[in-house]
Structure 1
């Protein structure tokens, strides 16, 4: 067999040569077209399997293959029918192409390219539509997923497509990306975590622009784009005409409307945040949390970033609330048997345990801790707020989401995807099912500001009694097709989809009215919109509506509806009608004009997907996945295939990693361990003992809070919000304790002086990071206000003089 062209680290040929992506952004909807170029450079017919990520909320609406000058457009068919047709075509020597969505996780797809002849090229085109999410800084986020990490699947689970992930730390194919942006509002700027060519505006009013990914891009991380429009929070409505040839009365035949609303809460209500609540922090402590946040200089392990964030959260909680912290891996544990009252004693206990936390709990099994949390009774008058931190590498995503949705009335869920390759289906799905907010921390992002933004949401007054009403001319009826709105946050977008039926000769204007109660105060938001369809939308809104309906039906099916078969039939019907993927359908394309006699079985090639570089836990997890039974584990661990897996992940075949991995002591330990990454506990004992003799091995260092003055200051704050006047605080300010004490006004208590200095220092030197310490400062200002300080203005003046600042008294919020 020839071994030429592109190869993996295991020296296996890769038929995928390049991926070219075109993105068309219109307002806050993106249409993404990816073209994958396949070339068979081997001497025999082959079949290629490529498992790759897409956004969880994407509506895949086109799939085609071009071979030479001939283009074959795929059809959407019932899943098993499509699979059977694919198998039959390949067995007959016909070229066939199959695109399927994973049954376990809606952000994973598999592409099968069957019967590609020697020397033949095939260009595969996939198009999907997705909404752009609103960020805390009012930008719109588009993400092109590039990284797909292996998903941990608990024992006894059916991993399906997820188990077919063929991962690699450096893929051999290339990526090009071009973006065209069109918006009714002027485009302010466009930023990215990757290097871009200069933004080019296509008209004088800056409502259209184009940009390309710079050449030489390393396919080692998700590509994120952040679009900044003027007046981003302006409500909008898009009405899209139906298809005249579609079946009358069907979804595709009638116009549909997409309403985008940004509720603005009254200022007097927002001026005071909630002081009650039960805050439960669920931290992923699986072995993969040892991975670095990014591959650049100064990166820290995910678990260490999570620990620093927990410190900030614990210091920011309001007095009188309840809290608890769970850590999970293959098993789970909680800091307290049940949530405890937040005070100085419980905060100190929790901080001590946070400092001792490590990523040593095995695989990623999040379902059991969530079940335990939901079995605990809630505290009256203290709404439960769940904060989940994970790298999202789970295989039972839909089971987790169903559990969160089942308990949605008793809690809100705020989810955080840590690192490249976190499952968008899990992270966004948990937040949506739990009426919360999702955040992704990738690249050089700091976790703390994003988490504190979600804490701000959690502390907002709860919105209830939400209703949506339509006003349209006589002769027109409106069917709301999106799921009911059950949560609203200040500054967060809410989308409403509806189908417009009938005709009217009257006014061409309609309106939607959203009403809700906020702290027992009725609020009304109204948007007027033109019923005339918007031109040139390409049925994107219809397909987003179809995807939304399909997701709702999936939930009904999994919860055991009255007639599961009827739900499945309806799902397939919508999928086929709209040409949108679903869990029960697949795209199938067959080149019936090609029928070659194929001698012998097809060569099978798995196209590798980019993963993040792993620490030792990842090396050992590869052994686990490659061993199918306890009796086979030792022999499998010694096999050349597993050795190649280690080499492919960056381990030298003569390295201590491989030397220990193939050892009998490691193999004998395998049956004892319940989760993938548990091997790393054994492995690191050997690994650490060798690192002094090998300077090239990675070093593990505990974070030193003293290296970051802000974290050091926050760590010194008391639960009540005050600071004590001592040497540790003086060190943060670059002073001695005597300097602080000698310049303290005589009539001022030491704690008041220390707290006032801390506030002045934060506003004077750390204003750029205010989102991280905003609640710490609010607690401090509130505490000072309760102390009835005499001559506060003079104290502020003296504090400014001591610290070299010019912070005004009114800035401190006392």
Structure 2
């Protein structure tokens, strides 16, 4: 999102070069913005970062100076934060703005009148796979140069003719496509040049935009490849400067797995572990005898649990947890769904007492994640929440991300839930669904709908079998998940190491095997081990991100050579990790490339506030496309948002929600979120 409540800092020109290889995008972007006011403005750049995006290069040029971001070891960066003036700008952003989630933020300083700032941002991103096999890439409408429209509709036909015949001078948007399967075609909601193949076998192609998207919508690019989409592989050549045996010194393969799952499966079996997590504050108005529930359908928590329990299939496993300041399980561990166990659970529902104290969701999740998975029974959580959690939201999300390949969450926050954004992020991260409960009448029906989705066929028992030339071996960086749900995909990264005994053998194969119910499926993909070189190493960067997080989750990773190796790898490719932090320095352009850590405290290097932050506002910074914010810090005040600019009304309403205004307005905000909840998904 390019946000400014006044048109004082205009986006004048955009240059974007996107390279898409199967389902990974490498983006190089340059934004030229100008302060059109006669007074100086202080500006900050904010870039939301989700779990599938890596920002590895950022710099901003103003006049003869340049701000450049870099990674340092966490302890060293925290020392520099203490001597960096202006860090209060980031703290203000973190605590006061209405956005929520993890972002990269850098304070750009003062932009003089009529001066421009050139922002360069490079990032890599895993692309979602659509049900029809297309790779989807999005670019926000706010990052196209502003188009001024008139009310004279007679000029629309002339404008359309100009769009179809001319390339805008202030927008250069080029897209390069690559796939070993071959590029079939593209679908773009904008005017674009004909797809031009750059290889005789149609494995590479190029296309450019001729205009911004129609009706000022986000750019939505769908890339279709030839052949089946169940399994695809991208092999990236090693970095010639790195030593063999290291991650950079060996080729890395990225597998995209989207199992074919039939809609109707004969004898699917009744598998699954269903865990129901109930916020005890939901029961404060529901203390009536269980036999009276049918006469009071508005007593939703009890009613919802009854319907869910009676809708489970025989043969699955289940458990119910109530949580508040503490948490309690109906059973020490999940039990098989039988008539006897269900009857016992129904009797226990009425014993849940309201608890208006704390809300220890983090402790409950850690307890659940620490219990072993039941073989052949995919774990799915149904989380009903109303209160603000007691723990840090970032800690909750870190725990969810750690186990996201091993479970799925369906979240049901009420319209009074302060942590609606957290519920939505949990659902997105685990490929589940978040439903805002506007009234208690909706809870039961919405929960049963999600249960029906949870009971759909899924791929389980997923395994990969490699066939490599003699002398080569494979080491998995990100392993195959326990399960893949219908309509979703998984990315798997592996390092290929060793020395091939026969140089002429440059082809390998991988076989995907899985079960859907009682049916067995097997797919084999052959791929080349001699890919074209890519000096930007997007696949290596994504693989390194998963490797670094895996090391951070290991207890031994923070000591000894393992951590040092992780830090070195993180710094070499600019991949943020739990071991590093971002800093920025402002210097003269002639000094770019010559500034190292030993110079950061010198007078010639001016430290600039720059950090990966966790915003605590209301609106999720999780979008179907990566989005930007460039804003003026004094315009963050609600009083300055009274002018009816494009997004002012929505921002004011959402900020009012955070300030605890009327329940009616809260419900309207939540209703808007619900109606647009599909927009938060990358899929």
How would you bin the TM-score normalised by the shorter chain?
0.5 to 0.7
Distance in 1 between residues matched to 2:492 and 2:638, nearest whole Å: 52
**1:78 corresponds to 2:73:** yes
Structure 2 residue matching 1:134: 3-state secondary structure: coil
* Change over 3 Å in CA distance of 1:273–1:126 after alignment to 2: same
In structure 2, what is the equivalent of residue 497 of structure 1?
493
Cα deviation digits, residues 34-88 of structure 1 (max 9, x gap):
4455656899988654444122221222222223477666443324545656776
In structure 2, what is the equivalent of residue 463 of structure 1?
460
* Change over 3 Å in CA distance of 1:524–1:495 after alignment to 2: same
Distance in 2 between residues matched to 1:16 and 1:87, nearest whole Å: 33
In structure 2, what is the equivalent of residue 203 of structure 1?
196
In structure 2, what is the equivalent of residue 113 of structure 1?
107
In structure 1, what is the equivalent of residue 565 of structure 2?
570
Alpha carbons 2:237, 2:250 under 8 Å: kept? yes
In structure 1, what is the equivalent of residue 246 of structure 2?
250
Distance in 1 between residues matched to 2:369 and 2:234, nearest whole Å: 40
Cα deviation digits, residues 591-625 of structure 1 (max 9, x gap):
14699999xx9999xx99998789xxxxxxxxxxx
* Change over 3 Å in CA distance of 1:121–1:582 after alignment to 2: farther
Larger radius of gyration: 1
Alpha carbons 2:459, 2:486 under 8 Å: kept? no
Whose helix proportion is higher, 1 or 2?
Answer: 1
In structure 1, what is the equivalent of residue 408 of structure 2?
413
Question: TM-score, normalising length from structure 1?
Answer: 0.51
**1:533 corresponds to 2:531:** yes
Distance in 2 between residues matched to 1:407 and 1:243, nearest whole Å: 31
Correspondence for 1:483 among 479, 484, 488: 479
In structure 2, what is the equivalent of residue 59 of structure 1?
54
Alpha carbons 2:269, 2:517 under 8 Å: kept? no
**Which residues of structure 2 form unaligned runs of 5+?**
143-169, 283-297, 350-354, 414-418, 437-442, 592-601, 621-635, 672-683
Correspondence for 1:551 among 546, 549, 552: 549
Cα deviation digits, residues 184-203 of structure 1 (max 9, x gap):
44455647xxxx42455323
Structure 2 residue matching 1:463: 3-state secondary structure: strand
* Change over 3 Å in CA distance of 1:14–1:415 after alignment to 2: farther
**Equivalence map 1:313-332=2 (5 Å):** 317-318=312-313
- Once the two structures are TM-superposed, the CA of residue 131 in structure 1 deviates from its matched residue by 1.0
Alpha carbons 1:252, 1:577 under 8 Å: kept? no
**Equivalence map 1:660-675=2 (5 Å):** none
Distance in 2 between residues matched to 1:277 and 1:62, nearest whole Å: 43
**Equivalence map 1:357-506=2 (5 Å):** 366-370=361-365, 384-388=379-383, 396-397=392-393, 399-400=395-396, 403=399, 412-415=407-410, 426-429=426-429, 431=430, 437-438=431-432, 458-460=455-457, 463-464=460-461, 467-489=463-485, 492-501=488-497, 502-503=499-500, 504-506=502-504
* Change over 3 Å in CA distance of 1:26–1:508 after alignment to 2: closer
Cα deviation digits, residues 396-454 of structure 1 (max 9, x gap):
35533565588889x7323569999768864454x2xxxxx345789xxxx99999699
Cα deviation digits, residues 634-657 of structure 1 (max 9, x gap):
xxxxxxx9984997986999x9x9
**Which residues of structure 1 form unaligned runs of 5+?**
1-5, 92-96, 148-174, 288-302, 354-359, 432-436, 615-640, 662-675, 689-696, 704-814
In structure 2, what is the equivalent of residue 753 of structure 1?
none
Distance in 2 between residues matched to 1:339 and 1:474, nearest whole Å: 46
- Once the two structures are TM-superposed, the CA of residue 129 in structure 1 deviates from its matched residue by 0.7
Distance in 2 between residues matched to 1:145 and 1:422, nearest whole Å: 23
Distance in 2 between residues matched to 1:610 and 1:457, nearest whole Å: 31
**Equivalence map 1:59-458=2 (5 Å):** 59-68=54-63, 74-82=69-77, 108-113=102-107, 115-116=109-110, 118-119=112-113, 120-136=115-131, 138-142=133-137, 178=173, 180=175, 182-184=177-179, 185-187=182-184, 190=187, 196-198=189-191, 200-203=193-196, 208-211=206-209, 213-214=212-213, 217=216, 227=223, 229=225, 231=227, 233-264=229-260, 270-282=265-277, 317-318=312-313, 366-370=361-365, 384-388=379-383, 396-397=392-393, 399-400=395-396, 403=399, 412-415=407-410, 426-429=426-429, 431=430, 437-438=431-432, 458=455
Distance in 1 between residues matched to 2:372 and 2:246, nearest whole Å: 45
- Once the two structures are TM-superposed, the CA of residue 588 in structure 1 deviates from its matched residue by 3.3
Cα deviation digits, residues 518-538 of structure 1 (max 9, x gap):
768876443221111234573
Distance in 1 between residues matched to 2:651 and 2:196, nearest whole Å: 54
Distance in 2 between residues matched to 1:577 and 1:26, nearest whole Å: 23
* Change over 3 Å in CA distance of 1:381–1:176 after alignment to 2: same
Alpha carbons 2:557, 2:563 under 8 Å: kept? no
Question: TM-score, normalising length from structure 2?
Answer: 0.59
Distance in 2 between residues matched to 1:234 and 1:496, nearest whole Å: 13
Structure 2 residue matching 1:270: 3-state secondary structure: coil
Alpha carbons 1:189, 1:227 under 8 Å: kept? yes
In structure 2, what is the equivalent of residue 30 of structure 1?
25
Structure 2 residue matching 1:246: 3-state secondary structure: coil
Alpha carbons 2:410, 2:427 under 8 Å: kept? yes
Distance in 2 between residues matched to 1:135 and 1:45, nearest whole Å: 45
- Once the two structures are TM-superposed, the CA of residue 27 in structure 1 deviates from its matched residue by 2.0
Cα deviation digits, residues 674-694 of structure 1 (max 9, x gap):
xx97x85xx64xx67xxxxxx
Whose strand proportion is higher, 1 or 2?
Answer: 2
Cα deviation digits, residues 10-42 of structure 1 (max 9, x gap):
xxx987868957344332112234445565689
Distance in 2 between residues matched to 1:61 and 1:602, nearest whole Å: 17
Distance in 2 between residues matched to 1:278 and 1:321, nearest whole Å: 6
Distance in 2 between residues matched to 1:61 and 1:133, nearest whole Å: 20
Distance in 2 between residues matched to 1:701 and 1:404, nearest whole Å: 26
Distance in 2 between residues matched to 1:118 and 1:234, nearest whole Å: 53
- Once the two structures are TM-superposed, the CA of residue 113 in structure 1 deviates from its matched residue by 2.8
Cα deviation digits, residues 132-158 of structure 1 (max 9, x gap):
1234454444456899xxxxxxxxxxx
* Change over 3 Å in CA distance of 1:573–1:269 after alignment to 2: farther
Alpha carbons 1:387, 1:415 under 8 Å: kept? yes
Structure 2 residue matching 1:201: 3-state secondary structure: coil
Distance in 1 between residues matched to 2:100 and 2:459, nearest whole Å: 30
- Once the two structures are TM-superposed, the CA of residue 467 in structure 1 deviates from its matched residue by 4.5
- Once the two structures are TM-superposed, the CA of residue 271 in structure 1 deviates from its matched residue by 2.2
Distance in 2 between residues matched to 1:180 and 1:610, nearest whole Å: 35
Alpha carbons 2:400, 2:426 under 8 Å: kept? no
Q: Which moved more, 1:70-79 or 1:55-64?
A: 70-79
In structure 1, what is the equivalent of residue 577 of structure 2?
582
What value does the CA root-mean-square deviation take over the aligned residues?
A: 6.7
Alpha carbons 1:282, 1:326 under 8 Å: kept? yes
Distance in 2 between residues matched to 1:652 and 1:232, nearest whole Å: 43
